[in-house]
Amino acid sequence: MTTTETISVGFQNRAGTRSLINFLRNWALPILVVLLFVLSIFLVPKFAELTTIRAIFLQASLIGIAAVGMTALTLSGNMFSLGVTPTVILGAMVYIWVGEGTTSMWLGAAAAIIVVVILGIIQGFIVSLGLNAVIVTLAVGSVIYGVTAIVTKGALVEPSEKVDLAGFATFDIFGIPLPIVVFIVFTALAWFLTEHTLIGRNVHLLGANKETARNSGISPRATTVWAFIAMSLGFGIAAVIASAQIHSVQADQLPNLTLDTVAAVLVGGTAVTGGDGSPIKSAIGALFIATIAQIMVLTSVPDGLKQLILGIVVVALVVILHVLRKAGSR
Amino acid sequence: MRAIGTWFKGYLLQFIVLVIVLASMYAFYPRFHVESSIERIMPLGVVAAGLAVTMIAGEFDLSIASMAAFSGALTIVLSPIGLVPALIISIIVGTALGALQGWAIAKLGINSLVFTIGTLILFRGLTWVVTNGVSVRVSDVTATDVFRDKIGFLTPLSLTGILIFIALGIFLAYTRWGREIYALGGARNEAIAAGVRYKRGMIVAFAISGGLGAVAGGMTSALGGSASPTAFGSLLLGALAVVLVGGISLAGGRGTMVNVFLGFAIIAILSAGLSAMGAKAFVAELFTGVLLLVVLVFDYLIGAIAENDRKKKLRKIATSEA
């Protein structure tokens, strides 16, 4: 009699702890971001100004769009890409070349996205043979870097005065800069696609359990390629925005983009083993990283320390999320 | 004699490639020297050896290049106490950090790719802090001379590299701890069930890779007398190419130091050829990337053919029994 009671009480307690753990897993980061914002408004000088908030969101939009795209790859169980920077730089160059040639920024953007997506499809096919995505993207990334450096001879790629290619960065919608709008829309779209479409669910299932996915008739190859297409769409859009923002690009620019993007996905809480996560989490992860970076700029933390703090934050959050996930699934 | 034959057969592909590469280099450049080309990029070989150990253990240490940069910086910053003691301290620090990393990975049961990409950023940050964000040099320029005196016909760097390959090869092949690393990489659950200590294996593997990253970075900086916070940017890619060209399996549990050395020799000679042609750094990176992809796909094809053969044999047995 007493034993049954203790057992049932134990079960209730465990269920309670588990729901608390799950709550933390889903809401810890959003709460942390809000806390960070509130604290910074009081403690960090100049934080509560519109230009600061704008800078944070602009910074977050570049990392965020890339990270939201990469979430598809992570969900499919292929971990992450180590070739973000070269891919985005190539896309940015294509944007300038085509935009300049056709004097249309729309055609330039389309060309950039198409080139990046084609590269993604090729990598998707290679990875779907059963190869490690991290290594394939690292290798392809270095090939892309080598090619862009050779073609441009390491020099700046700059649009001439007569063509306006900065439109994607300077345009406002009700006072909100276009990159931020694109970031929000892209995140919403990515969320809808992963949660409410067949391909999105297939990506989830493939990441959660490859064998089960195959046995239930999902093609691992097609699904992996789709994940790469989604990721490349993000990289392509990020490339257009980066190019419009920084005006001129060089082969070895944006050196931190790859790691920032991976960090955003990991900090956001998408499981690297696949199957569990959401593009929205990665978007918040990007916002978190951009906020921390901006706070460090405002408090004039030296460059070196910034990297170290970012590293500590990433390791700490990854470990905490891992422990919570383990505890939640027990 | 037969044993030598089977040993040779295991590395046949790498030997063939090595001979072709070597022959074509001598054909193009009559004044080519193998020793000098290997000497120049010895740090790459040392890092590749470290990376190989974690790969044999079925894990992956993405942080190894950052560790090299950190140790290089630490060696130079500590150099007022003497370059050699500074180097030794950096290597000890690197090994300790590596061991700590291995312990954390084992304790948490976390995917090592995830953990080490975090420490990749973290160690790079430490490098920036230690160097204050600028290139640092030794104050006494004669201090680096110790590392330039040849011992026999080898420089200290080459000698260290070769000794590391031999020692690590013996450790992995003949000691209990070394065999445990193979067991953990080849069939982890079975190994643990059979009594292999998982945590110890991880600590040893990551301590070796951290330590070797530190040796490579520290010795490079000690030799050049300077360190930069952005150094070794493409070291991870190069080391990965060495390990995979050498024929170490990504799945873990397979490959030896002979594999790593052969892969290293091939890459070293090729890169010497590239620089003899006057190619820039990004050409080398392009080349390494292409090579890596070719090896990956080639490896896949061999695996697929072997699998096909196996199935064919099984089918034959099944039909003959029926």
pLDDT tens-digit map of A170-224: 777 777 888 898 999 999 999 999 889 988 898 888 888 888 888 888 888 999 9
Residue B290 C-beta-side C-alpha neighbours within 13 Å: 9
Rounded Cα–Cα distance for residues B99 and B116 (Å): 13
Query: Residue B63: closest CA among chain A residues belongs to which residue?
Result: A311
Confidence of residue A1 (pLDDT cuts 50, 70, 90): very low
Number of domains in chain A: 1
Shortest distance between the Cα of B115 and any Cα of chain A, in A, equals 7
Full residue range of the structural domain in which residue B241 is found: 34-278
Residues ≥6 apart with Cβ < 8 Å to B198 = B106, B184, B188, B191, B192
**Which domain CATH number covers B198?**
1.10.3470.10
Establish if B305 touches chain A: CB-CB under 8 angstroms: no
What's the rounded Cα separation, in Å, for the pair A94 and A147? 13
pLDDT above 70 covers a percentage of chain B that reads: 95
Is residue A19 assigned to a domain?
no
User: Is A221 part of any domain?
Assistant: yes
CATH of the domain at A298: 1.10.3470
Q: Domain for residue B266, yes or no?
A: yes
B308: in domain: no
Cα A80 to its chain centre, rounded Å, is 10
Q: Is the pLDDT of residue A2 over 50?
A: no
Q: Are the C-beta atoms of B52 and B248 separated by less than 8 Å?
A: yes
Evaluate whether residue B38 is within a structural domain. Answer: yes
State residue B322's pLDDT score.
Answer: 62
Query: Given this model, what pLDDT does residue A167 score?
Result: 72
Lowest mean pLDDT among A11-25, A227-241, B223-237, B285-299: A11-25
Residue B28 has what pLDDT? 75
**Domain span at residue A181?**
56-328
Q: Is the pLDDT reported for residue A13 higher than 60? A: no
pLDDT in tens, B154-167: 778 888 888 999 99
Closest-CA residue of B relative to A317 is B118
pLDDT-wise least confident of A268-282, B66-80, B102-116, B275-289: B275-289
Q: Which of A86, A33, A54, A10 is nearest to A242 (CA)?
A: A86
> Percent of chain A scored above 90 by pLDDT?
30
Range name among A159-168, A220-229, A257-266, B46-55 with the lowest pLDDT average: A159-168
* B292/A139 touch (CB, cutoff 8 Å), yes or no: yes
- Which residues of chain A does B101 touch, with a Cβ-Cβ cutoff of 8 Å? none
Do residues B132 and B122 lie in contact, with contact meaning Cβ atoms separated by under 8 Å?
no
Residue A11 has pLDDT above 60, yes or no: no
Contact with chain A for residue B117, Cβ under 8 A: yes
Q: Which residue in A has a C-alpha nearest to residue B291's C-alpha?
A: A139
Q: What is the pLDDT of residues B177-213, one digit of tens each?
A: 999 999 998 888 899 898 889 999 999 999 999 999 9
Residue B301 located in a structural domain: no
The answer to whether the beta carbons of residues B91 and B53 sit under 8 Å apart is no
Rounded Cα gap, residues B32 and B15, in angstroms: 19
- DSSP reduced 3-state for A88: helix
Residue (of A94, A93, A95, A66) closest to A82 by Cα position: A66
CB within 8 Å of B24: residues ≥ 6 apart:
none
Whether residue A269 lies inside any domain: the answer is: yes
**Out of A126, A146, A307, closest to residue B286 by CB:** A146
Substitution target in A315, A319, A326, A329 with the highest count of B β-carbons within 10 Å is: A315
Q: Is the pLDDT of residue A161 over 80?
A: no
Q: Are strands B136-137 and A176-177 parallel, antiparallel or unpaired?
A: unpaired
- From chain B, the residues in CB contact with A306 under 8 A are 125, 128
Report the distance separating Cα B217 and Cα B69, nearest Å. 6
For B73-126, the pLDDT digits (tens) are: 999 999 888 888 999 999 999 999 999 999 999 998 888 888 998 899 899 889
Residue A169 and residue A109 in contact, taking contact as beta carbons nearer than 8 Å: no
C-alpha closest to that of A291 among A249, A251, A260: A260
Look at residue A44 in the predicted model and tell me its pLDDT: 78
Tokens 């130079």 sit on residue = B76
Burial A143-178 (b: 16+ CB within 10 A, else e): bbbbbbbeeeeeeebebeeebebeebbeeeeeeebb
Show the CA angle centred on residue B119, arms to residues A288 and A91, nearest 5°. Answer: 60
Mean pLDDT across chain A: 85
Query: Exposure of B9 by Cβ count < 10 A (0-12 exposed, 13-18 middle, 19+ buried)?
Result: exposed
Distances (CA, A) of A98 to A221, A238, A251: 32, 17, 17
Q: Is B121 on the interface with A (CB under 8 A)?
A: yes
Model confidence pLDDT, tens digit, residues A276-315? 888 999 999 999 989 988 888 888 887 778 888 888 988 8
Average pLDDT over residues B273-295: 80
What the block records as the tokens of B253 is: 């549990």
CA distance B294 to B175: 34
Residue B202 inside a domain? The answer is yes
Q: Measured between CB atoms, does B278 come within 8 Å of chain A?
A: no
Q: Which residue has the higher pLDDT, B18 or B212?
A: B212
pLDDT reported for residue B1: 57
Is residue B307 assigned to a domain?
A: no
Q: Model-level pTM?
A: 0.86
pLDDT tier, A66 (very low <50, low <70, confident <90, very high otherwise)? very high
Give ipTM to 2 decimals: 0.82
Check CB contact of A151 with chain B, cutoff 8 Å: no
Label residue B53 by pLDDT band (50, 70, 90). Answer: very high
By CA distance, what is B233's nearest residue in A? A255
Residue B299 has pLDDT above 80, yes or no: no
Structure tokens at B57: 């253990």
- Indicate if the alpha-carbon torsion angle A195, A197, A198, A202 is positive or negative: negative
In a domain, B285, yes or no: no
Q: Do A138 and B236 touch (CB under 8 A)?
A: yes
Which positions ≥6 away from B177 have C-beta within 8 Å?
A: B171, B200, B201, B204
- With b for 16 or more beta-carbon neighbours within 10 A and e for fewer, the A287-301 pattern comes to bbbbbbbbbbbbeee
What single letter denotes the amino acid at residue B105? I
Domain count, chain B: 1
Closest-CA distance, A172 to chain B, in angstroms, reads: 35
Q: How does residue A120 score in pLDDT terms, banded at 50, 70 and 90?
A: very high
pLDDT of residue B216: 93
Residue A153 lies in a domain: yes
- Evaluate whether residue B227 is within a structural domain: yes
Whether A307 and chain B come into contact, CB under 8 Å, resolves to yes
Q: What is the pLDDT of residues A78-112, one digit of tens each?
A: 888 888 999 999 999 999 999 888 878 889 899 99
**Inside any domain, residue A44:** no
Task: Report the alpha-carbon distance of residue B216 to residue B229 in Å, rounded.
Answer: 15
Q: Hey, are the CB atoms on B121 and A143 less than 8 Å from each other?
A: no
